[in-house]
Structure 1
Amino acid sequence: MRMLLKFVSLLPALLALLAAPVLAATEAPAVPIEQGPRVVGEPFTYETGGQSYQGYLARNVADDKPRPAVLVVHEWWGLNDYARDRADQLAALGFVALAVDMYGDGRSTTHPDEAGKFAGQVMQDWPSARARLEAAMARLRKQPFVRGDRMAALGYCFGGGIVMNMALAGMPIKAAISFHGSPAQAVSKPQPFDGVVQIHNGAEDPLVKREALTDMAQALKAQGATVKVINYPHARHSFTNPDADAVAERTGLPLGYDAAADAASWQAALLTLDKTLNGK
């Protein structure tokens, strides 16, 4: 009987001890959960010279403020999933990204001979190539979510050559960033350019001739550009594309993915975009 009475007398204290952790947990302030970027991609059509071009526009639809725009210029294969994926990545980082279509009607190919034909036709007619880019940029500027005064361009392989020539032509972009780009000069009359040009090149890339790369860098510098060329040891052509090894096996082209060079060049590009487009 005495034991029962003792237990009854201790019961309130025991209940208080059991309740304490529950009260503490319920009284702790809740950790706020913020929404991350909601990237949406959609077709983006523009026209010039009687031809329709099917680009891909990616942006964070959870953000209603006008943001700087970045043009993504595809490899010689045409506008494919790789260019779209890069546009999605840029959109997640706060830019409006437009993967342009340089061939018209959204054409793309997986055959090197056809890709070379498409790319050659564009590079041999720079006025038409420029008109396609200008048409894309003009429509992009009309979008309420775009800061039309702050644009940049980055490109891969064939697209890298395009963006270098955009800078050489004095087009209204703040930065031109090339990844394993072809440095062939398509612009016959270079114009002043006071933006940034960043060229990422594989040191073991047999498709990019060192003399041509040096000539392009010097030509850009002569027009007032701030030029930086970065060579990545052991990196081959298409070093940023994870599918490069499979494509090399299928086509016999000297391509190869390099994860370290991909990461380093992407980080450098993002820092440049942030400085030139988001800076004061």
Structure 2
Amino acid sequence: MRYLLCLALCFSSGVQAALHEQAVSYTAGDTTMQGYLVWDDAKGDKQPGVLVVHEWWGLNDYAKQRAKMLAELGYTALAVDMYGDGKSSEHAAEASAFMASVVERAGVSQQRFAAAEEFLRKQPGVDSGKIAAIGYCFGGATVLNMARSGADLAAVVSFHGNLSTQTPARAGQVKARILVLNGAADEFVSADSIAAFEQEMTQAGADYRFVNYPGVRHGFSNPDADRLGKANNLPIAYDAGADKQSWEAMRQLFREVFKK
């Protein structure tokens, strides 16, 4: 593990601000992962850590922007690389291949998430006992599966993530509080999968909340969704209202679990 590059220091009203952005490198098995770490040291010496797991497009500027937004709230955020070498794409076929290379190999997703989590916990400005994870699309499914596995996380938040799983949570196994933020018009999430998810969480005794935004489609939190959907013939669309509401729902959950 090593820091590769300090990318930026931000300035506001002529006074140097404390937001730090850093490209970082860590390993998962034999694969080099290129993450993006952001924190604001004016927000406190020991901050809760939040892992940000990208959409199927890979570790792009959108995931990094969300990490910066979390840092501005007082969290140390790591935008996670799940594909290796920081790969990303705006082409659906390539993104699908990237995702398949992770989800179709047993244990790879868990290994890469765990490597990122370990890296974040070891950062000197992070309160290692206060870690959460959020994810978008593919990343939403990833963080839900980590919660199902009993990962030691305070909370997980899924934004327009897939709800299906081959390894449902067992009773008493889920430690994290779970928040699922879904578009009711998401063509990738069926009513049956929602019902199955809620039944699974109830039987597991999980502390969860499911929010369905009426008329909202897949990818609702990403301002680039309209452009990417049109370019790739995908039924995805940005929704400013759902974006704002879902982010505030996440903030409220973090205020509750982190007491800040």
Give the TM-score normalised by structure 1: 0.83
**Separation in 2, partners of 1:77, 1:241:** 12
CA contact (8 A) 1:68 1:278 kept: no
Higher helix content, 1 or 2? 1
Q: Aligned ranges for residues 89-168 of structure 1 at < 5 Å? A: 89-168=69-148
Match of 1:254 in 2: 235
1:63 to 1:266, Cα distance in 2 relative to 1, 3 A: closer
Match of 1:231 in 2: 212
**Separation in 2, partners of 1:96, 1:277:** 13
Q: What percent identity do the matched residue pairs reach?
A: 41
Q: Among residues 32, 38, 43, which one is paired with 1:58 in the alignment? A: 38
CA contact (8 A) 1:126 1:187 kept: no
Match of 2:251 in 1: 270
Tell me how many residue pairs correspond in the alignment. 247
CA contact (8 A) 1:152 1:277 kept: no
CA contact (8 A) 2:49 2:77 kept: yes
Counterpart check, 1:86 vs 2:62? no
Q: Among residues 169, 181, 184, which one is paired with 1:200 in the alignment? A: 181
**Separation in 1, partners of 2:115, 2:19:** 24
Give the TM-score normalised by structure 2: 0.89
1:65 to 1:126, Cα distance in 2 relative to 1, 3 A: farther
CA contact (8 A) 2:148 2:168 kept: no
Q: For residue 54 of structure 1, give the secondary structure of its aligned residue in structure 2.
A: strand
**Separation in 1, partners of 2:120, 2:212:** 33
Match of 2:25 in 1: 45
Q: Among residues 120, 124, 149, which one is paired with 1:169 in the alignment? A: 149
Higher strand content, 1 or 2? 2
| Stretch deviating more after TM superposition (131-140 or 164-173) | 131-140
- Unpaired runs of 5+ residues, structure 1, are 1-32
| Stretch deviating more after TM superposition (230-239 or 179-188) | 179-188
Q: CA RMSD in A?
A: 2.0
Kindly state the Cα deviation for residue 258 of structure 1 after the two structures are TM-superposed: 0.6
- Unpaired runs of 5+ residues, structure 2, are 1-12
Q: 2:236 is aligned with what amino acid?
A: L
Match of 1:10 in 2: none
Q: Among residues 182, 193, 200, which one is paired with 2:162 in the alignment? A: 182
Q: For residue 38 of structure 1, give the secondary structure of its aligned residue in structure 2.
A: strand
Kindly state the Cα deviation for residue 186 of structure 1 after the two structures are TM-superposed: 4.5
Kindly state the Cα deviation for residue 119 of structure 1 after the two structures are TM-superposed: 1.4
